[in-house]
Amino acid sequence: MAHRSWCAEQEGRTSNERLEFLGDAVLGLVVADYTYRNHPELSDGLMSKVRASVVNTKVLAEVALDLGVAELLRLGRGEDLSGGRAKDSILADATEAVIGAVYLDGGLAEAERLVLSLLKGRIASAVGEPGESDHKSRLQEQTVRGGRGVPRYEVEGFGPDHARRYLATVYVAGQRLGTGEGRSKKDAEQAAAQAAGGSLVVERGGGDA
């Protein structure tokens, strides 16, 4: 987890940039292979869009936060003081370095297992599958079908930059239905949607009684 800014202050130390290069290649291969094998209905253009939606700086930075990578980064003093642990580009590069290291240590099978454990749900969302992790889509289907409109989310961040967390609240037709917390805004919104979906089930159950 050695950033080049740290290596510049430590004579003879090597940064994780070579691992980033390797991890980026492995990541792209795994996502492309999984999409190709599991979604024969998609054209090459759509497969490219799916890959781009999950293999990008924002998503990989969120993954880094989920893994707790920010706390492990070795940054130069200036980079650290300027908020480097919260920069998407640095976090995304670190995620790629982790994937590269797993590939070198355990081979492609282990790297594939890691990548899919981190991104399989996002791939499903990008393709449009009603995956277990896509609570927002399911909630919207429920509320629209029930004539209550589209859910609205409010998200607040809290905590230090290197360990930032988010609290999301979801409203449907002006009514607060659920809250959720996560290491990224997307994760917090998904958690809130999951809680709201449970509330709707309870409401329907009460109405049927």
Asked if 162 and 145 touch (Cβ cutoff 8 Å), the reply is: no
Per-domain boundaries in the chain: 4-127, 135-208
Residue 96 bears catalytic tag: yes
Q: Residue 101's CB: how many other CB atoms inside 10 A?
A: 16
Residues 6+ apart with CB under 8 A from 39: 47, 50, 127
The per-residue pLDDT for 105 is: 94
Asked if 166 and 188 touch (Cβ cutoff 8 Å), the reply is: yes
| CATH number attached to the domain at 135-208 | 3.30.160.20
CA distances from 1 to 7, 99, 101, 139, 158 (A): 11, 12, 10, 38, 25
Residue 88 bears catalytic tag: no
Q: Encode the chain (209 residues) as per-residue pLDDT tens digits.
A: 655 554 555 666 666 888 999 999 999 999 999 999 999 988 898 899 899 989 998 889 888 888 777 777 765 565 555 556 677 888 888 899 999 999 999 999 999 999 999 898 888 888 875 444 568 888 888 888 888 999 999 999 998 877 788 999 999 999 999 999 988 888 899 889 988 887 675 455 554 43
DSSP letters spanning 114-133:
HHHHHHHHHHHHHHT---TT
The per-residue pLDDT for 208 is: 44
The per-residue pLDDT for 209 is: 39
Which among 62, 79, 93, 96 is annotated as catalytic? 96
Instruction: Judge if 4-127 and 135-208 fold alike in CATH terms.
Output: no
Nearest to 196 by CA among 178, 172, 173, 180: 178
- Classify domain 4-127 at the CATH class level: mainly alpha
Which among 20, 24, 62, 112 is annotated as catalytic? 24
**Pairing status of strand 175-182 against strand 152-158:** unpaired
